Structure formats: structure tokens, C-alpha cells
Amino acid sequence: MKLDNRLNAMTVDVEDYFQVSAFEDVIAKDSWDSQQLRVGKNTHRLLDLFAEHNVKSTFFTLGWVAKRCPDVIKRIVNEGHELASHGLEHQRATTMSRSQFDKDVYESKAILEDVSGTAVKGYRAPSFSVNDTNTWVYEVLAEQGFVYSSSTYPIMHDLYGVPDWPRFKHQRDEGIIEIPIPTIRKKEANVGIGGGGFYRLYPYWLSKKRIMAFMEHETAPYSFYFHPWEIDPEQPYVNDANWRSKFRHYINLSRMESKIEMLLKDFNWGSMYDVYIK
């Protein structure tokens, strides 16, 4: 029996373990093709899991991955999930000029649409890298025909975050709908509850309690995000990364799949487009 009747959005950021921002200083992009590719197998496992629980999701996918794993892209679409863009090569929007971002998003969208044969309407910036310094991102997305973005996390964080930005879905003046990652309010501050490393770190009962607190106090849908590499405890270990990055990346990988399964059982899930836009 579900804990809440509302339909919430399940999202997957489709990237491999060696493409994460935490490892960008120790794994060069020109070495990616020589790394052990695991994202295809892991995403297929997630698709199996979603099928077992009759869950539809949005897969924010890198263009780089789509070129190398077209079978995954086609399966995402054929099984009724939403395909969306996560950029081309997981470069944070805050590190690009407007022209570089325009090229990155254009190429990613073109690859995804060519491989899948479907229109891509959603975008998520790598590492939620949209903030006060680059709001022109929304102009570019609108120019390229995107409908929505989910690129902001209204929390205080050492790597990302826009704590003063809206907490809920809102229409931008540039013509794009922005859907922030969910938060709850504690001691006059926003606390992130949308997934990521804290979901792996905390016991499931605590994460569930926070999600239920959101649902009890807010009328908006909830959304959750995670990555295929988070269910892969056998992935290669990146020794050269700093201790904080390694802790965040590897904590409780062996427990994540079972936690995802509990989440699928306890709540109702759909794609980002169906939950927030349709």
C-alpha cells in the first residue's frame, strides 16, 4: 500500500562513474573512452527495476552516453519513459560561456533526438549548475525548443545551490519552466531531500520521514534523482580523488538498489513531464 496517493517524479541522471564532477580533476575527458564503460549495464538494470514496479521515469541523459549506448536510449523510449538532456559531456554550465553552452546543449539534444526518434523537452544542468551568474541559460534553452529545466537546488552547498531561489516549479521570464529539486524547511533554512549522497548516507526510515514531511506540508509533487553508478558497488575505485569526493561517491553503494526499491514500493512515480508539465 502506498504511503501517499500523489504522483511524484522519478528521475535518473544518466552518466558513468568516471564522468561525475567530483572526479573531473583526476579523470581527463580525453581518457573517457579508455575507461570501463558501465553505464549501459547499470541503466538496463534500472529499467528492469522500474518495469518490475510499473514505474515511469525521466532519464536526463548525456549525449556522450547516447552515442555509445544507443540500445539503452531506444529501450528508455520504447518502454514509455521520458528522455531528456543532461548536456553533452557533463560540463557544468557555470564553466561555459553562452556560446559554449549553446553548442553543448544543441549537440546533446540533436544526438538524443537522432538516436531515439523523439523530441527532447527537458534539460538538467550537470551538478545543478544554474545560478545568478548564468541565467542566460534559460534564454538558450528557450531558443532551442526546450519546455522545462530541473537545474536548481535551493540549498546551501559547497559545490552548488541557490538557497534564495524559488523552492517550487515556476515559469521563468525567458519562457522556460524551472522545477527545483525538493527541499523541506528546518530552522529557517532549506534542507535537500531530493536524492544524492545524503540518500545513500541516511537510513531509509529517515529519508522516508523527510519525504513524508514534505508531502504533509506541501501540495507540490515530490521528485527524486539518482544515477546509474549509485547501484554499482563493483565499479572501479578512483584512488587519486580527494577523500571528500571519495566519501561522497562511494558511501553505501551496496545499499542503494534496495533503498530505491523501497522508494518505488512506498510512493507513486511518473516522468517529470507527466507530473509537472502535462
Residues whose CB falls within 8 Å of the CB of residue 278, separated by 6 or more in sequence, listed in order: none
Span of 121-125, 148-152, 195-199, 273-277 with lowest mean pLDDT: 195-199
Domains along the chain with CATH numbers: 8-277 (3.20.20.370)
* pLDDT tens digit sequence for 103-113: 999 999 999 99
- Report which of 268, 248, 135, 122 is spatially closest to residue 195, judged by C-alpha positions: 248
DSSP conformation class of 277: I
Handedness of CA 93, 57, 158, 20 (dihedral sign): negative
Q: Where are the alpha helices (DSSP H) in 31-123?
A: 39-52, 63-68, 70-78, 98-116
Which pLDDT band holds residue 158 (cuts at 50, 70, 90)? low
pTM listed for this prediction: 0.97
> What average pLDDT does range 166-189 have in this prediction?
96
